[in-house]
Amino acid sequence: MVGCAAFQTSVRGRNSHHDFESGGLPVIDMRIKQLFFDKAKVVRAVDKARRAVLSKAGAFIRTAARSSIRRRKAPSPPGKPPSSHTGLLKKFIYFGYEPDSDSVVIGPVKLNKPGAAPSVLEHGGKTLIHKRRRGRVVRRRVSIKPRPYMGPTLEKERPKLPKLWKNSVRSSAA
């Protein structure tokens, strides 16, 4: 049981001497400390378990998202996870526990390149691309059809998430 608050009770017979031979009932002094929870300790254990489970869920989803992105030169078909031509998209998917909202945030970080490639790949849209041609940088605005990778990964992993909670709250004192 996780921590307990102290509680004492006693049952006394008619005689205050508690003498078995004189017919009095014995004094039963019970300490039922083990039957009550120490609320603060329980809350700490649940909070610790919640952080651990959310972090583990973030790690699972991140790993699945990374493995859905193939590193290849050819573009992926619309509707399928994107191809990673340089490996940056696959490399820069992170997760982090957010204590303010008590949640985990999973996704790609913004790259040091112009445009919003990770977001445009996930949702589709227009972006500016830069290419070098004959020593000059040529900028071109392109329309990209959605190639979702984070949303489908979350949906694929969602049925596995409740199992992470099994036996997650543990007692520090057994």
- The model's pLDDT over 102-115, given as tens digits with 9 standing for 90+, comes to 899 999 987 666 66
Per-residue pLDDT for 15 more than 80? no
**Whole-number pLDDT of residue 8:** 38
- Whether the model pTM is above 0.85: no
What average pLDDT score do residues 33-43 get? 75
Between helix 150-157 and helix 39-68 the angle, nearest 10°, is: 130
DSSP of 138-160, one letter per residue?
EEEEEEE-----HHHHHHHHGGG
Residue 158's CB is within 10 A of a number of other CB atoms, namely 11
Portion of the chain with pLDDT greater than 70, in percent? 74
- The model's pLDDT over 53-75, given as tens digits with 9 standing for 90+, comes to 999 999 999 999 999 999 888 88
Greatest Cα-to-Cα distance within the chain, rounded to the nearest angstrom: 113
Pairing of strands 125-133, 8-11: unpaired
2 in helix, strand or coil?
A: coil
- What are the DSSP E strand ranges found in the chain? 8-11, 28-31, 93-98, 103-108, 125-133, 136-144
- Which residue did the predictor score with more confidence, 1 or 140? 140
In angstroms, the CA 161 to CA 159 distance is 6
